[in-house]
């Protein structure tokens, strides 16, 4: 923990809060992955980690490194931009794949295709 | 002339910004290389012949962005509460929403908004009937969800893109 | 005082993230269907990326942020490929 000692107390407390909040949201998201009952419910859970979990963790990282280096360092923001762009794509693809597979098997829990298509 | 070399100025500027962020420097050489990359990659993007988007009403776009960020915060807390409550009575299900929005870019933005908000996810879209199918984790009243999505997101998108 | 707090917070965060990763792994092993496993893998790499960021904060080195960026990139490509596979292929389970 030697290099972190250079942080002033306010920054240390801020970073601690951000890191804890971020980890907490990611934790609850994964807990939901375990607890919720079916696939279509579970698919909502990891969004917690990719939105607020990542947001708080990146905020903590940006605060920490900007204060440590004495200049604004915010290229962590690229991770956030990238995740916000890609998460909807992966989740949508995954849900469509699941729906396709469920319909193939004739499951009654998913909405059926309208006769037109 | 400018149109020929810079068909997508915003895309080129964004690519330059990403390059500068990755390199973490604003030295002249980095800017030059980044600008070259931005222009060249935007031209390559043009080869895909993407349909042109017409954006109007920029202030509304900003307001919509703020609203989405706030909604993401709020629904994060709602979904977290739902997970922690450990209650098997959680009713979730599919909701079909008839849309009036038909613009492709508008639909793409709507898809991203709905999916990145925890608790709702875009499932499929039927372009003939213009009906959107979403899955909602906490489905208490169906009409309320339809109404809120149409009013909060679809109406501003209609004004921006159509 | 505040630095002890920061150190403790980072360690607690790392434990939480490790638990989150093990939840994803349990879901990946349990299934029951292929889409559940892919979803769990997606959550696993996001949690791993967050864990790398906490390691970076703890060591004060920016290198971990770049590693996180690469994990985010590769994880996305992997999940998209797997979802495509689920959609098209005859998957033998």
Question: What is the reported pLDDT for A23?
Answer: 92
pLDDT tens digits, one per residue of A47-72? 888 888 899 999 988 888 888 888 88
d(Cα B105, Cα B160) in Å, to the nearest integer?
Answer: 10
Residues of B within 8 A of A25 (CB-CB) are 76, 80
**Chain A contact present for B128, CB below 8 A:** yes
Residue-wise DSSP of A7-66:
S-HHHHHHHHHHHHHHHHHHHHHHHHHHHSSSHHHHTTTTHHIIIIIHHHHHHHHHHHHH
All chains having 3 or more CB pairs closer than 8 angstroms to chain A? B, C
Residue range B83-87: mean pLDDT, rounded: 77
Mind telling me how many Å the CA of C64 is from chain A's nearest CA? 10
pLDDT tens digits, one per residue of C22-47? 999 999 998 788 888 889 999 999 99
Other CB atoms within a 10 A radius of the CB of residue B143 amount to 8
Using the beta-carbon criterion (under 8 Å), do C86 and A29 form an inter-chain contact?
no
Which of A112-116, B84-88, C51-55 shows the lowest mean pLDDT across its residues? A112-116
> Looking at the predicted structure, is the pLDDT value of residue B77 above 80?
yes
Rg (CA), chain B: 20
Residues of C within 8 A of A12 (CB-CB) are 2-3, 5-6
Of the pLDDT bands very low, low, confident and very high (cuts 50, 70, 90), residue C21 is: very high
Q: What is the distance, to the nearest Å, from the Cα of residue B46 to the centroid of all Cα atoms in its chain?
A: 21
Using the beta-carbon criterion (under 8 Å), do C3 and A53 form an inter-chain contact?
no
Residues of B within 8 A of A114 (CB-CB) are 126, 129
Which residues, numbered 8 to 27 in chain A, qualify as contacts with chain C under a Cβ-Cβ cut-off of 8 Å? Answer: 9-10, 12-13, 15-17, 19-20, 22-24, 26-27
Using the beta-carbon criterion (under 8 Å), do A16 and C39 form an inter-chain contact?
no
ipTM of the assembly? 0.83
Residues of chain A with pLDDT under 70: 1-3, 108-110, 112-117
Mind telling me how many Å the CA of C72 is from chain A's nearest CA? 7
Of the pLDDT bands very low, low, confident and very high (cuts 50, 70, 90), residue C91 is: very low
Peptide bond into C32 cis (omega under 30): yes
d(Cα B68, Cα B56) in Å, to the nearest integer?
Answer: 18
Per the model's pLDDT, the better-predicted residue between C8 and A110 turns out to be C8
- End-to-end CA separation in angstroms for chain C: 54
Of the pLDDT bands very low, low, confident and very high (cuts 50, 70, 90), residue C90 is: low
> Looking at the predicted structure, is the pLDDT value of residue C92 above 50?
no
Which residues, numbered 66 to 95 in chain A, qualify as contacts with chain C under a Cβ-Cβ cut-off of 8 Å? Answer: 68, 73, 75-76, 78-79, 82-83, 86, 89-91, 93-94
Give the Cα-Cα-Cα angle B21, B23, B26 (nearest 5 degrees).
80
Q: Tokens 């909502």 map to which residue?
A: A44
Question: What is the reported pLDDT for A1?
Answer: 47
Question: What is the reported pLDDT for C93?
Answer: 41
> Looking at the predicted structure, is the pLDDT value of residue B44 above 50?
yes
* DSSP type of residue B133: E
Residue range B94-112: mean pLDDT, rounded: 83
Which of A31-35, A108-112, B6-10, B101-105 shows the lowest mean pLDDT across its residues? A108-112
d(Cα C23, Cα B115) in Å, to the nearest integer?
Answer: 23
Written as six digits, the tokens of A36 are: 């919720």
Question: What is the reported pLDDT for B3?
Answer: 67
> Looking at the predicted structure, is the pLDDT value of residue C6 above 70?
yes
**A30, A46 Cβ separation under 8 angstroms:** yes
């Amino acid at each position: 923990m030697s290099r972190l000692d250079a942080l002033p107390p306010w920054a240390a407390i801020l970073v601690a809060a951000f890191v804890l909040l971020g980890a907490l949201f990611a934790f609850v998201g994964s807990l939901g992955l375990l607890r919720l009952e079916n696939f279509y419910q579970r698919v909502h859970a990891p969004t917690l980690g990719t939105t607020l979990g990542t947001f708080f963790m990146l905020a903590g990282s940006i605060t920490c490194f900007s204060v440590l280096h004495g200049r604004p360092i915010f290229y962590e923001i690229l991770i956030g931009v990238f995740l916000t762009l890609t998460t909807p794509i992966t989740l949508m693809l995954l849900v469509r794949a699941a729906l396709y597979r469920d319909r193939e098997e004739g499951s009654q829990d998913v909405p059926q295709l309208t006769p037109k298509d | 002339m400018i149109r020929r070399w810079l068909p997508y100025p915003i895309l080129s500027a964004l690519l330059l910004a990403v390059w500068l962020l990755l390199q973490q420097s604003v030295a002249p050489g980095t800017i030059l290389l980044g600008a070259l990359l931005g222009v060249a990659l935007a031209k390559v993007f043009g080869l895909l012949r993407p349909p042109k988007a017409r954006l109007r009403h920029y202030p509304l776009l900003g307001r919509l962005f703020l609203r989405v960020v706030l909604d993401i915060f709020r629904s994060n807390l709602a979904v977290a509460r739902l997970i922690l409550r450990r209650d098997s009575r959680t009713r979730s299900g599919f909701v079909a929403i008839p849309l009036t929005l038909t613009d492709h870019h508008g639909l793409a933005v709507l898809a991203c908004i709905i999916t990145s908000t925890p608790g709702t996810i875009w499932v499929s879209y039927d372009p003939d009937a213009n009906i959107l199918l979403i899955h909602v984790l906490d489905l208490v009243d169906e009409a309320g969800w339809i109404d809120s999505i149409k009013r909060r997101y679809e109406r501003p998108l209609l004004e921006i893109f159509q | 005082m505040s630095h002890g707090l920061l150190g403790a917070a980072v360690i607690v965060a790392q434990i939480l993230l490790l638990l989150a990763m093990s939840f994803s792994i349990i879901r990946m092993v349990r299934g029951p269907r292929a889409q559940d496993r892919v979803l769990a893998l997606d959550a696993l790499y996001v949690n791993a990326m967050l864990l790398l960021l906490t390691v970076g904060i703890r060591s004060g080195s920016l290198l971990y942020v770049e590693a996180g960026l690469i994990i985010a990139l590769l994880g996305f490509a992997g999940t998209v490929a797997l979802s495509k596979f689920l959609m098209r292929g005859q998957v033998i389970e």
